Amino acid sequence: MNPKHNNPKNRIACAPYNFVPLPEKVVTVDINDIPGQDEYTGNNGYIKCTLTVETPLYIRSAMTKDFFSRFGDNEFPQLSEEQKIERAQFYHRPDRPDEPVIPGSSLRGMVRSLVEIAAYGKMQWLIKDRVTFRAVATSPEKDSLAAEYRKIMGKYSSNVKAGYLRKKNDSWYIQPAKTPSDYDRHYKKSYLEIKDKDISNKTLLGFISLEDKQNYKPQYHEVSFNVKIVKGKPRIFDLETAKPGSKYCGILVCSGNMAETGGEKTSPRTTHVVILEQDNKKKALKINESVVTDYLSTLTPFQKQEPFDSRYGCLKEGRPVFYVLKNESVYFFGHSPNFRIPAIPNHLDRAASPYDYTPDHLRRENEIDLAEAIFGFANSMDHKKGEDNSKSRAGRVFFTDACVKSVSDSLWLDSKPIITPKVLSSPKPAAFQHYLTQQIPEDPGKLNHYASPSTIIRGHKLYWHKRDVQINNIKENDDEIKQNPKKYTLIKPVRPGVNFSFCIYFENMEDKELGALLWVLSLPGDKYRHKLGMGKPLGMGSVKIEPVLHLMDRKSRYKSLIKNGRWFEGETIVKNNNYFVNAFECHILEEIHPDDKGDAECLVNTKRIKTLLKMLEWPGKTSETTRYMDIDVFKERKVLPEPLGVK
Which residue type sits at 507?
A: E
- Residue 89 CA to residue 60 CA, distance in Å, equals 6
- Whether residue 562 lies inside any domain: the answer is yes
pLDDT of residue 107: 98
The answer to whether residues 334 and 370 belong to one domain is no
pLDDT of residue 261: 46
The DSSP code sequence of 265-278 is: SS-S--EEEEEEPB
pLDDT of residue 568: 64
Among 300, 316, 342, identify where a domain stops: 342
pLDDT at 199 over 50: yes
pLDDT of residue 104: 97
Which uninterrupted H or E stretch holds 590?
A: helix 578-591
If we measure between CA atoms, which residue out of 401, 539, 483 comes closest to residue 105? Answer: 401
pLDDT band at 426 (very low <50, low <70, confident <90, very high): confident
The DSSP code sequence of 165-194 is: EEEETTEEEEEEBP-GGGT-TT---SSEEE
SS3 585: helix
Among 574, 590, 606, identify where a domain stops: 590
Those residues with Cβ within 8 angstroms of residue 94's Cβ, 6 or more apart along the chain or in another chain? none
335 or 352, greater pLDDT: 335
- Whether residue 251 lies inside any domain: the answer is yes
Mean pLDDT of 210-231: 89
pLDDT at 608 over 80: yes
- Whether residue 278 lies inside any domain: the answer is yes
If we measure between CA atoms, which residue out of 11, 214, 51 comes closest to residue 544? Answer: 51
pLDDT band at 264 (very low <50, low <70, confident <90, very high): very low
- Whether residue 8 lies inside any domain: the answer is no
Asked if 629 and 639 count as a contact pair (C-beta separation under 8 A), the reply is: no
The answer to whether residues 315 and 361 belong to one domain is no
pLDDT tens-digit readout, 266-275: 567 789 999 9
Within the chain, how many helices (H) and strands (E) appear?
Answer: 17, 25
Mean pLDDT of 484-508: 91
Which residue type sits at 28?
A: T
pLDDT at 383 over 50: no
The DSSP code sequence of 237-259 is: EEEEE--TT-SEEEEEEE---SH
pLDDT tens-digit readout, 89-106: 999 998 888 899 999 999
pLDDT band at 262 (very low <50, low <70, confident <90, very high): very low
Mean pLDDT of 365-370: 93
The answer to whether residues 93 and 222 belong to one domain is no
Out of 9-18, 99-108, 403-412, 491-500, pick the least confident. Answer: 403-412
pLDDT at 147 over 90: no
The answer to whether residues 148 and 286 belong to one domain is yes
The distance from CA 71 to its chain's CA centroid, rounded to whole angstroms, is: 22
Out of 216-220, 238-242, 353-357, 381-385, pick the least confident. Answer: 381-385
Q: pLDDT above 70 covers what percent of the chain? A: 93
The answer to whether residues 444 and 569 belong to one domain is yes
pLDDT of residue 380: 61
pLDDT of residue 559: 66
pLDDT at 491 over 70: yes
Query: Where does 119-233 have alpha helices with state H?
Result: 144-153
pLDDT of residue 43: 93
Mean pLDDT of 232-237: 84
The answer to whether residues 39 and 97 belong to one domain is yes
- Residue 454 CA to residue 438 CA, distance in Å, equals 9
- Residue 223 CA to residue 237 CA, distance in Å, equals 11
Asked if 567 and 561 count as a contact pair (C-beta separation under 8 A), the reply is: yes
409 or 380, greater pLDDT: 409
pLDDT of residue 188: 79
Among 310, 342, 374, identify where a domain stops: 342
The answer to whether residues 387 and 525 belong to one domain is yes
- Whether residue 610 lies inside any domain: the answer is no
- Whether residue 481 lies inside any domain: the answer is no
- Residue 540 CA to residue 575 CA, distance in Å, equals 31
- Supply the DSSP symbol for 303: G
pLDDT at 246 over 90: no
pLDDT of residue 390: 63
Q: What are the distances in angstroms from CA 526 to CA 502, 529, 616?
A: 20, 8, 11
565 or 535, greater pLDDT: 535
The answer to whether residues 436 and 582 belong to one domain is yes
pLDDT at 230 over 70: yes
- Whether residue 627 lies inside any domain: the answer is no
Long-range own/partner contacts, residues 426-434 (CB < 8 A, 24 or more apart):
427/461, 429/127, 429/129, 429/131, 429/354, 430/131, 430/132, 430/133, 431/634, 432/145, 433/13, 433/637, 433/638, 433/639, 433/640, 434/13, 434/15, 434/458, 434/639, 434/640
pLDDT tens-digit readout, 29-71: 999 999 887 888 889 999 999 999 999 999 999 887 887 777 7
Which uninterrupted H or E stretch holds 473?
A: helix 471-474
Domain that holds residue 522: 26-127+357-421+428-454+495-590
pLDDT of residue 564: 72
* Ramachandran bin of 158, using left for φ above 0, alpha for ψ from -120 to 50, beta for the remaining angles: alpha
Mean pLDDT of 11-20: 94
pLDDT band at 113 (very low <50, low <70, confident <90, very high): very high
599 or 425, greater pLDDT: 599
- Whether residue 604 lies inside any domain: the answer is no
pLDDT at 500 over 50: yes
- Residue 585 CA to residue 190 CA, distance in Å, equals 64
Out of 33-42, 194-203, 318-327, pick the least confident. Answer: 33-42
pLDDT of residue 134: 76
Which residue type sits at 605?
A: N
The answer to whether residues 416 and 530 belong to one domain is yes
The answer to whether residues 370 and 245 belong to one domain is no
Phi, psi at 338, each rounded to 5°: -100, 55
Peptide linkage before 97 cis (omega within 30 of 0): no
pLDDT at 132 over 90: no
- Residue 208 CA to residue 212 CA, distance in Å, equals 7
The answer to whether residues 448 and 364 belong to one domain is yes
Structural domain total, the chain: 2
Q: pLDDT above 90 covers what percent of the chain? A: 54
In sign, the C-alpha dihedral spanning 335, 338, 344, 349 is positive
The answer to whether residues 502 and 527 belong to one domain is yes
